[in-house]
Amino acid sequence: MTCPEQTRSELLAALAELGRLRPDWRLGQTLANIAMTAGHLDQGAVWDLEDDEALTAAKELLEQHVGVETVPA
């Protein structure tokens, strides 16, 4: 089992990587997309999102973008 500090550290690293892969997403959009990917679809979903759920969802979003090149604007 992963400790909360390790989960948070991994989540922050995943957020940074998502930011590099999806520079068109604002931070709020990224958090909303993570919440939606985790199955939290209702208004205020980010508030109910646990760190471990967010990490799993962030990893899923990262996997979806493996091999996808971002085109500079």
User: What does the pLDDT profile of the chain (73 residues) look like in tens digits?
Assistant: 579 999 999 999 999 999 999 999 999 999 999 999 999 988 888 898 999 999 999 999 999 987 555 445 4
> 1: helix, coil or strand?
coil
20: tokens are 């590099």
pLDDT of residue 43: 82
In a domain, 72, yes or no: no
In a domain, 25, yes or no: yes
AA letter at 36: M
16: tokens are 């940074």
In total, how many domains does the chain have? 1
Full domain range(s) for residue 37 = 4-49
User: How does DSSP classify residue 22?
Assistant: -
pLDDT of residue 45: 86
pTM over 0.85: no
In a domain, 32, yes or no: yes
Whole-number Cα distances in Å, 47 to 25, 32, 51, 72: 19, 10, 11, 33
